[in-house]
Amino acid sequence: MPVFSCPFSTATLEVQSGVEMKALVLICPGGAYSWLSPREMWPVGKAFLKKGYGAAILSYSVGEGLGTLPLREAGWAVKTLKDAFWGLPVVIVGFSAGGHLAASLAVHAHRLELAPADAAILCYPVISSGRYAHAQSIANLGEGPNQQFFSLERWVDEHTPPVFLWHTAQDEAVPVQNSILFANALIDEKRVCALHIYPFGVHGLSLATEEVEEPAKGRFADKQVATWFDLCIDWLASLHLGGQK
């Protein structure tokens, strides 16, 4: 399993290729830009591998005063994958703060001259720095190029790739309004968008399968929420970004 090291930071990219794959997924785990959640790393990567995708885990920089460093690392990761795998499409998949990172690349890649992803899958993502912000995530980023840079619903435009979002209405950490705000912006700009809101479930469910249960935090397998994965696979196929049949 090859591991690539970022030339301008401590970020790493761990890659496992699929068989006759048509695309790769670049997974950005959550953790409020303070840490990286293992439950949102290879359990998710292996699920995509079973569907015929290549999978890569980006261990991006975390801590305080990050600015655009994680975003630049995500752009480096996309370029690295495309260079290593003959220009195959790359779908960026992000959870919580990792969802903010994935969405940041979706809206800002052209502004920072970064390699863009071909689509984005955002799982209970942090999006806004406004009323519904996840304060810790936004605080760890600190200042961007301008005051509203990290409030991503403000930056959707004709360059934004197709986006799949899912969230639970009961999310106590990152309010569901984050996904709704982003979906509204995508629809306003006539971008390709899918949004799934599940009525029940706490924050951080990952695949919502037994494999990633975390009882101490109320995270249990949920058959309804777990449907997000097959829904996103079908959605990717509709964009001709399908894995092996």
Average pLDDT of span 176-196: 98
- Domains in the chain with CATH codes: 3-238 (3.40.50.1820)
Cα of 198 vs its chain's centroid, Å: 18
Whole-number Å distance between alpha carbons of 219 and 212 = 8
Q: What is the pLDDT of residue 20?
A: 81
Whether residue 92 contacts residue 28, with contact meaning beta carbons closer than 8 Å, is answered with yes
Count CB neighbours of 213 within 10 A: 18
CA angle 100, 118, 155 (to 5 degrees): 45
Q: Over the stretch 121-146, which tens digit does the pLDDT of each residue have?
A: 999 999 999 888 998 999 999 977 87
pLDDT at 244: 55
**pLDDT for position 135:** 86
Q: Which of 58, 104, 49, 106 is nearest to 81 (CA)?
A: 58
E strand or H helix at 136, and its extent?
helix 135-141
Q: What are the angstrom distances between the C-alpha of 93 and each of 97, 123, 148, 215?
A: 11, 8, 23, 24
Helices of type H across 36-134: 42-50, 69-84, 97-108
Q: Which residues does 241 contact at the CB level (< 8 Å), separation at least 6?
A: 22, 23, 89, 91, 118, 119
Q: CA-CA distances (angstroms) from residue 202 to 26, 167, 208, 218?
A: 24, 10, 10, 7
> Tens digits of per-residue pLDDT, 20-66?
888 999 999 999 999 999 999 999 999 999 999 999 999 999 999 99
- Please give the helix or strand (H or E) that residue 180 lies within, else none: helix 177-188
Amino acid at 142: G
pLDDT of residue 243: 61
